[in-house]
Amino acid sequence: MGIDTAIEYADQLLYERTGRHLSDLQSCIIQQSWQGQTYGQVATIAGYSEGHIKDVASQLWRLLSEALGERITKGNLRSRLINRIKRTLKKASSLHQTESFRAATIETIVSFASAVAAIPTPFIGREQALQTLQNLALTHLAVVIQGEGGIGKTTLAQQYCQRFDQTLELLMAKESASITPVESVVEEWLRQYFDEEPGREFGVTLSRLKHHLQQGSVAVLIDNLEPALDSNGQFIAAHRHYAELLRVLCASGSGATTIMTSRDRLCEPGVTVYHYRLPGLSLESWQQFFQDRQAVALESLARMHRAYGGNAKASAASARR
Protein backbone atom coordinates (compact mmCIF):
# COMPACT_ATOMS: atom_id res chain seq x y z
CA MET A 1 0.00 0.00 0.00
CA GLY A 2 1.56 3.30 -1.14
CA ILE A 3 1.83 6.66 0.57
CA ASP A 4 -0.48 8.25 -2.04
CA THR A 5 -3.32 5.95 -0.97
CA ALA A 6 -2.71 6.78 2.69
CA ILE A 7 -2.66 10.53 2.03
CA GLU A 8 -5.87 10.32 0.00
CA TYR A 9 -7.53 8.36 2.82
CA ALA A 10 -6.30 10.84 5.45
CA ASP A 11 -7.52 13.72 3.29
CA GLN A 12 -11.02 12.22 3.16
CA LEU A 13 -11.01 11.69 6.95
CA LEU A 14 -9.94 15.28 7.54
CA TYR A 15 -12.58 16.65 5.18
CA GLU A 16 -15.31 14.67 6.93
CA ARG A 17 -14.10 15.96 10.29
CA THR A 18 -13.39 19.62 9.51
CA GLY A 19 -14.84 20.39 6.09
CA ARG A 20 -11.31 21.08 4.82
CA HIS A 21 -8.84 19.07 2.82
CA LEU A 22 -5.24 18.41 3.85
CA SER A 23 -3.00 21.43 3.36
CA ASP A 24 0.28 21.05 1.49
CA LEU A 25 2.11 21.18 4.81
CA GLN A 26 -0.10 18.51 6.41
CA SER A 27 0.41 16.25 3.39
CA CYS A 28 4.15 16.80 3.65
CA ILE A 29 4.11 15.90 7.35
CA ILE A 30 2.23 12.65 6.66
CA GLN A 31 4.52 11.74 3.77
CA GLN A 32 7.74 12.38 5.66
CA SER A 33 6.47 10.75 8.88
CA TRP A 34 5.47 7.70 6.81
CA GLN A 35 9.09 7.55 5.63
CA GLY A 36 10.46 7.81 9.17
CA GLN A 37 11.78 11.37 9.05
CA THR A 38 12.16 13.38 12.26
CA TYR A 39 10.32 16.65 12.85
CA GLY A 40 13.61 18.46 12.34
CA GLN A 41 14.07 16.83 8.94
CA VAL A 42 10.46 17.63 8.01
CA ALA A 43 11.07 21.28 8.98
CA THR A 44 14.12 21.44 6.70
CA ILE A 45 12.21 19.93 3.78
CA ALA A 46 9.11 22.08 4.26
CA GLY A 47 10.92 25.32 5.04
CA TYR A 48 9.33 25.96 8.45
CA SER A 49 10.62 26.04 11.99
CA GLU A 50 10.65 22.75 13.86
CA GLY A 51 8.31 24.24 16.47
CA HIS A 52 5.74 25.12 13.83
CA ILE A 53 5.97 21.64 12.32
CA LYS A 54 5.36 20.10 15.74
CA ASP A 55 2.31 22.35 16.31
CA VAL A 56 0.76 21.50 12.94
CA ALA A 57 1.57 17.80 13.37
CA SER A 58 0.07 17.71 16.86
CA GLN A 59 -3.20 19.18 15.57
CA LEU A 60 -3.16 16.78 12.61
CA TRP A 61 -2.63 13.69 14.80
CA ARG A 62 -5.47 14.88 17.05
CA LEU A 63 -7.87 15.30 14.14
CA LEU A 64 -7.00 11.88 12.74
CA SER A 65 -7.37 10.34 16.21
CA GLU A 66 -10.86 11.83 16.54
CA ALA A 67 -11.82 10.65 13.06
CA LEU A 68 -10.56 7.08 13.56
CA GLY A 69 -11.53 6.68 17.20
CA GLU A 70 -8.04 5.61 18.23
CA ARG A 71 -4.86 7.42 19.20
CA ILE A 72 -2.71 8.39 16.22
CA THR A 73 0.90 9.49 16.66
CA LYS A 74 3.85 10.05 14.39
CA GLY A 75 5.18 6.66 15.41
CA ASN A 76 2.06 4.58 14.72
CA LEU A 77 0.64 6.58 11.79
CA ARG A 78 1.73 4.10 9.12
CA SER A 79 0.48 0.94 10.80
CA ARG A 80 -2.83 2.50 11.92
CA LEU A 81 -3.69 3.87 8.47
CA ILE A 82 -2.75 0.63 6.70
CA ASN A 83 -4.90 -1.42 9.09
CA ARG A 84 -7.85 0.96 8.83
CA ILE A 85 -7.75 1.10 5.02
CA LYS A 86 -7.64 -2.70 4.83
CA ARG A 87 -10.63 -2.99 7.19
CA THR A 88 -12.55 -0.37 5.24
CA LEU A 89 -11.97 -2.13 1.93
CA LYS A 90 -12.94 -5.48 3.42
CA LYS A 91 -16.14 -4.06 4.88
CA ALA A 92 -17.01 -2.35 1.60
CA SER A 93 -16.57 -5.56 -0.36
CA SER A 94 -19.15 -7.40 1.79
CA LEU A 95 -21.70 -4.59 2.06
CA HIS A 96 -25.22 -5.55 0.91
CA GLN A 97 -28.08 -3.35 -0.22
CA THR A 98 -30.50 -3.32 2.72
CA GLU A 99 -32.62 -0.16 2.39
CA SER A 100 -34.18 1.81 -0.44
CA PHE A 101 -32.30 4.84 0.84
CA ARG A 102 -29.05 2.91 0.25
CA ALA A 103 -30.18 1.25 -2.95
CA ALA A 104 -27.04 2.29 -4.84
CA THR A 105 -23.99 0.12 -5.43
CA ILE A 106 -20.74 0.54 -3.51
CA GLU A 107 -19.35 2.39 -6.50
CA THR A 108 -22.23 4.86 -6.43
CA ILE A 109 -21.81 5.54 -2.71
CA VAL A 110 -18.09 6.17 -3.20
CA SER A 111 -18.91 8.41 -6.17
CA PHE A 112 -21.39 10.36 -4.05
CA ALA A 113 -18.90 10.89 -1.22
CA SER A 114 -16.15 11.87 -3.65
CA ALA A 115 -18.45 14.31 -5.39
CA VAL A 116 -19.31 16.02 -2.10
CA ALA A 117 -15.61 16.24 -1.23
CA ALA A 118 -14.96 17.93 -4.59
CA ILE A 119 -17.53 20.72 -4.18
CA PRO A 120 -17.38 23.29 -5.67
CA THR A 121 -15.91 22.94 -9.19
CA PRO A 122 -17.77 24.78 -10.56
CA PHE A 123 -19.17 26.60 -7.53
CA ILE A 124 -22.69 25.21 -8.00
CA GLY A 125 -25.46 26.46 -5.73
CA ARG A 126 -23.41 29.08 -3.89
CA GLU A 127 -23.20 31.81 -6.52
CA GLN A 128 -25.79 33.93 -4.72
CA ALA A 129 -24.16 33.31 -1.33
CA LEU A 130 -20.79 34.35 -2.76
CA GLN A 131 -22.30 37.52 -4.20
CA THR A 132 -23.99 38.26 -0.87
CA LEU A 133 -20.70 37.83 0.95
CA GLN A 134 -18.94 40.14 -1.51
CA ASN A 135 -21.61 42.80 -1.00
CA LEU A 136 -21.43 42.50 2.78
CA ALA A 137 -17.65 42.90 2.73
CA LEU A 138 -18.07 46.26 0.98
CA THR A 139 -19.74 47.75 4.07
CA HIS A 140 -18.48 45.53 6.90
CA LEU A 141 -14.86 44.97 7.90
CA ALA A 142 -15.66 41.59 9.47
CA VAL A 143 -18.30 39.01 8.54
CA VAL A 144 -19.14 35.81 10.43
CA ILE A 145 -20.55 33.08 8.19
CA GLN A 146 -22.84 31.23 10.56
CA GLY A 147 -24.51 27.83 10.14
CA GLU A 148 -24.51 24.21 11.25
CA GLY A 149 -21.61 21.87 10.56
CA GLY A 150 -21.23 20.63 6.99
CA ILE A 151 -23.37 23.29 5.35
CA GLY A 152 -20.44 24.81 3.44
CA LYS A 153 -19.24 27.75 5.56
CA THR A 154 -15.55 27.00 5.09
CA THR A 155 -15.84 26.33 1.36
CA LEU A 156 -17.66 29.63 0.83
CA ALA A 157 -15.12 31.55 2.91
CA GLN A 158 -12.15 30.03 1.07
CA GLN A 159 -13.77 30.71 -2.30
CA TYR A 160 -14.33 34.35 -1.37
CA CYS A 161 -10.77 34.82 -0.09
CA GLN A 162 -9.31 33.76 -3.44
CA ARG A 163 -9.97 37.29 -4.71
CA PHE A 164 -7.25 38.66 -2.39
CA ASP A 165 -3.53 38.69 -3.04
CA GLN A 166 -2.87 37.11 0.34
CA THR A 167 -4.92 35.28 2.98
CA LEU A 168 -3.85 34.85 6.59
CA GLU A 169 -5.66 31.70 7.66
CA LEU A 170 -6.31 30.17 11.07
CA LEU A 171 -8.13 26.88 11.64
CA MET A 172 -9.34 26.93 15.23
CA ALA A 173 -8.85 23.63 17.08
CA LYS A 174 -11.97 21.52 17.65
CA GLU A 175 -11.38 21.33 21.40
CA SER A 176 -11.00 24.43 23.57
CA ALA A 177 -8.02 22.95 25.40
CA SER A 178 -6.12 22.58 22.11
CA ILE A 179 -6.58 26.13 20.79
CA THR A 180 -3.31 27.82 19.84
CA PRO A 181 -2.66 31.04 21.81
CA VAL A 182 -3.37 34.07 19.65
CA GLU A 183 0.08 35.47 20.43
CA SER A 184 1.66 32.47 18.67
CA VAL A 185 -0.73 32.80 15.72
CA VAL A 186 0.08 36.47 15.09
CA GLU A 187 3.81 35.89 15.59
CA GLU A 188 3.74 33.12 12.96
CA TRP A 189 1.77 35.35 10.56
CA LEU A 190 4.38 38.09 10.89
CA ARG A 191 7.28 35.73 10.31
CA GLN A 192 5.72 33.61 7.56
CA TYR A 193 3.95 36.25 5.47
CA PHE A 194 5.84 39.47 6.20
CA ASP A 195 9.32 38.34 7.25
CA GLU A 196 9.19 40.40 10.45
CA GLU A 197 9.83 39.50 14.05
CA PRO A 198 7.08 40.16 16.64
CA GLY A 199 7.42 42.72 19.40
CA ARG A 200 8.03 41.91 23.05
CA GLU A 201 4.53 43.08 23.94
CA PHE A 202 1.41 41.74 22.23
CA GLY A 203 0.18 45.27 21.55
CA VAL A 204 3.37 46.03 19.61
CA THR A 205 3.01 42.78 17.67
CA LEU A 206 -0.56 43.72 16.74
CA SER A 207 0.58 47.16 15.59
CA ARG A 208 3.15 45.59 13.30
CA LEU A 209 0.56 43.25 11.89
CA LYS A 210 -1.85 46.13 11.25
CA HIS A 211 0.88 48.05 9.42
CA HIS A 212 1.42 45.16 7.01
CA LEU A 213 -2.31 44.61 6.48
CA GLN A 214 -2.62 48.20 5.32
CA GLN A 215 -0.04 47.72 2.58
CA GLY A 216 -1.92 45.38 0.23
CA SER A 217 -4.93 43.24 -0.63
CA VAL A 218 -5.16 40.95 2.41
CA ALA A 219 -7.89 38.78 3.88
CA VAL A 220 -7.92 37.18 7.32
CA LEU A 221 -9.82 33.89 7.53
CA ILE A 222 -10.57 32.46 10.99
CA ASP A 223 -12.30 29.12 10.56
CA ASN A 224 -14.35 27.18 13.14
CA LEU A 225 -14.53 29.95 15.74
CA GLU A 226 -17.03 28.37 18.16
CA PRO A 227 -14.61 26.29 20.32
CA ALA A 228 -13.07 29.56 21.50
CA LEU A 229 -16.43 31.03 22.59
CA ASP A 230 -18.37 30.60 25.81
CA SER A 231 -22.15 30.31 26.12
CA ASN A 232 -22.49 34.09 25.81
CA GLY A 233 -20.60 34.23 22.53
CA GLN A 234 -17.51 35.77 24.14
CA PHE A 235 -13.99 34.39 24.10
CA ILE A 236 -13.24 31.96 26.92
CA ALA A 237 -10.99 33.17 29.72
CA ALA A 238 -7.92 31.27 28.50
CA HIS A 239 -8.07 33.01 25.11
CA ARG A 240 -9.29 36.53 25.87
CA HIS A 241 -6.49 37.98 23.73
CA TYR A 242 -8.31 36.81 20.61
CA ALA A 243 -10.70 39.68 21.30
CA GLU A 244 -7.73 42.08 21.10
CA LEU A 245 -6.84 40.70 17.67
CA LEU A 246 -10.40 41.13 16.43
CA ARG A 247 -10.63 44.67 17.78
CA VAL A 248 -7.64 45.55 15.60
CA LEU A 249 -9.02 43.71 12.57
CA CYS A 250 -12.50 45.21 12.95
CA ALA A 251 -11.35 48.77 13.56
CA SER A 252 -11.61 51.41 10.86
CA GLY A 253 -8.41 51.53 8.83
CA SER A 254 -7.38 47.99 9.68
CA GLY A 255 -6.54 47.38 6.03
CA ALA A 256 -7.90 43.82 5.89
CA THR A 257 -11.18 42.06 5.28
CA THR A 258 -11.88 39.51 8.01
CA ILE A 259 -14.05 36.46 7.35
CA MET A 260 -14.92 34.05 10.16
CA THR A 261 -16.94 30.84 10.22
CA SER A 262 -18.84 29.64 13.27
CA ARG A 263 -21.81 27.58 14.34
CA ASP A 264 -22.46 30.13 17.11
CA ARG A 265 -22.76 33.91 17.21
CA LEU A 266 -19.85 36.10 18.23
CA CYS A 267 -20.98 38.66 20.83
CA GLU A 268 -17.71 40.19 22.01
CA PRO A 269 -17.94 43.76 23.41
CA GLY A 270 -16.02 46.20 21.24
CA VAL A 271 -15.96 43.83 18.25
CA THR A 272 -18.39 44.78 15.49
CA VAL A 273 -19.17 42.00 13.02
CA TYR A 274 -21.97 41.13 10.65
CA HIS A 275 -23.49 37.64 11.01
CA TYR A 276 -24.47 36.05 7.72
CA ARG A 277 -26.49 32.86 8.22
CA LEU A 278 -25.71 30.52 5.34
CA PRO A 279 -28.78 28.67 4.01
CA GLY A 280 -28.71 25.04 2.89
CA LEU A 281 -28.26 24.18 -0.77
CA SER A 282 -31.49 24.10 -2.78
CA LEU A 283 -32.78 20.87 -4.26
CA GLU A 284 -32.18 22.33 -7.73
CA SER A 285 -28.50 22.85 -6.88
CA TRP A 286 -28.19 19.27 -5.65
CA GLN A 287 -29.82 18.00 -8.83
CA GLN A 288 -27.54 20.08 -11.02
CA PHE A 289 -24.39 18.99 -9.24
CA PHE A 290 -25.09 15.27 -8.95
CA GLN A 291 -26.82 14.92 -12.33
CA ASP A 292 -23.65 16.22 -13.98
CA ARG A 293 -21.76 13.38 -12.28
CA GLN A 294 -24.54 10.78 -12.55
CA ALA A 295 -23.92 10.09 -8.87
CA VAL A 296 -27.37 9.57 -7.33
CA ALA A 297 -30.88 8.87 -8.65
CA LEU A 298 -33.14 11.94 -8.46
CA GLU A 299 -35.73 10.20 -6.27
CA SER A 300 -33.09 9.24 -3.71
CA LEU A 301 -31.56 12.70 -3.98
CA ALA A 302 -34.86 14.40 -3.16
CA ARG A 303 -35.31 12.21 -0.07
CA MET A 304 -31.78 12.99 1.09
CA HIS A 305 -32.30 16.72 0.52
CA ARG A 306 -35.50 16.70 2.62
CA ALA A 307 -33.88 14.66 5.38
CA TYR A 308 -30.81 16.88 5.71
CA GLY A 309 -32.15 20.30 4.78
CA GLY A 310 -29.66 20.92 1.99
CA ASN A 311 -26.62 19.85 4.05
CA ALA A 312 -24.72 17.71 1.54
CA LYS A 313 -21.94 16.72 3.92
CA ALA A 314 -24.35 15.35 6.53
CA SER A 315 -26.16 13.27 3.93
CA ALA A 316 -22.91 11.84 2.62
CA ALA A 317 -21.91 10.81 6.12
CA SER A 318 -25.27 9.06 6.58
CA ALA A 319 -24.93 7.23 3.26
CA ARG A 320 -21.58 5.83 4.34
CA ARG A 321 -22.93 4.50 7.65
What domains sit in the chain, N to C, each tagged with a CATH number?
3-94 (1.10.10), 114-121+282-320 (no CATH), 127-277 (3.40.50.300)
DSSP tag of 277: E
Higher-pLDDT residue of 143 and 105 is 143
DSSP string over 205-267 = HHHHHHHHHTTS-EEEEEE--GGGB-TTSSB-GGGTHHHHHHHHHHSTT--EEEEEEESS---
The pLDDT tens digits for 36-90 are 888 889 988 888 888 899 989 999 999 998 888 888 888 888 888 888 877 776 6
Q: For the residues 305-318, what does the mean pLDDT come to?
A: 50
pTM of this structure: 0.56
pLDDT of 301 reads 54
Averaged confidence pLDDT in the chain: 79
Give the integer Cα–Cα distance in Å for 201 and 130: 38
pLDDT of 90 reads 66
The pLDDT tens digits for 154-190 are 888 988 988 888 899 998 888 888 899 999 999 999 9
pLDDT of 238 reads 92
Lowest-pLDDT range, 103-107, 211-215, 226-230, 276-280? 103-107
Nearest alpha-carbon partner for 262 in 299, 293, 309, 230: 230
